Structure 1
Amino acid sequence: MTENQIANKIIGCALEVHKALGPGLLESAYQECLFYKLMKEGLAVAKQKPMPLIFEEVQLEIGYRIDILVENKVVIEIKSVEALNDVHLAQTLTYMKLGGFKLGLLINFNVSLLKQGIKRVINGEL
């Protein structure tokens, strides 16, 4: 399955979660529900996946964690904020660069229409 096919499934599941819950909850609630929906779809998902930082020959376990990683290919960063900003995008890009992932989805569930809260993040060629 390609990154784009995975992303389409993720977005479909996220839309279902948002339709059922609406805006205004904590990020952790959306994360758990989206994780559950993705598992029900038969996708391989990891929640709060540790992401070490490698500097020269030293691997640093400094607490970076990907909200959800799908099929070991697509990073999902979940937010429940008034508006996405550059620091949220930078956080997603950092996780993608550390793990060598090409595609990420930055999803803000605190919006009235979820399509306004989804940002595709691309690292390199897809």
Structure 2
Amino acid sequence: MKELNILATKVLDCAFTVHRDLGPGLLESAYQMAMEAELFDVGIPFVAQQEVPLEYKGRSIATAYRLDLFIDNKLIVELKSVEVLHDIHLAQVLTYLKLTNCRLGLLLNYNVKLMKTED
């Protein structure tokens, strides 16, 4: 878990850099592309828009669900650019964790004045 926390810290550093450079108010897709560039520049392996496999009662279901960023096959990053994060956004990340058997996910909202942990 220590290795995963170190990876998450590096990803958060990239997110803070992107937010500091671009600021709030852009579309999620702009932050997505900027995060991809930042992760690439610092050498963190990732897959963008990774499909999430979904099975129901033994059937594979074609899905439009995609992880915004799948970092090093072990960390999920879900990007948002919304006025307020809602419980459904957290539920989305928790569902992705369950479907992928990952242990850690980050939910990042870029449409804020300052990116920080909510109290």
Normalising TM by the smaller chain, what interval? over 0.9
- For structure 2, list consecutive stretches of 5 or more residues without a partner in the other structure: none
**Using the alignment, how far apart are the partners of 2:45 and 2:39 within structure 1?**
8
Report the identity percentage.
45
The one-letter code matched in structure 1 to 2:99 is L
The one-letter code matched in structure 2 to 1:22 is G
TM-score, with structure 1 as normaliser: 0.88
Task: State the Cα RMSD in Å.
Answer: 1.3
Q: Deviations over 1:52-99 (max 9, x none)?
A: 211232111211100001001110000000110100001111111111
TM-score, with structure 2 as normaliser: 0.93
1:115 positional shift? 1.2
Moved segments of 4+, more than 2 Å: none
- For structure 1, list consecutive stretches of 5 or more residues without a partner in the other structure: 118-126
Higher relative contact order (CA closer than 8 Å, sequence separation 6+): 2
Match of 1:80 in 2: 81
The one-letter code matched in structure 2 to 1:10 is V
Match of 1:120 in 2: none
1:116 positional shift? 4.5
- Structure 1 segment 38-77 matched on structure 2, within 5 A: 38-77=39-78
The structure-2 alpha-carbon separation of the partners of 1:95 and 1:107, relative to structure 1 and needing over 3 Å to count, comes to same
Q: Deviations over 1:6-32 (max 9, x none)?
A: 100011000000000000000000011
User: Going by fraction, where is strand more abundant, 1 or 2?
Assistant: 1
**Using the alignment, how far apart are the partners of 2:58 and 2:82 within structure 1?**
37
**Using the alignment, how far apart are the partners of 2:25 and 2:38 within structure 1?**
19
**Using the alignment, how far apart are the partners of 2:36 and 2:62 within structure 1?**
24
Does structure 2 retain, via aligned residues, the 8 Å contact 1:47–1:66? yes
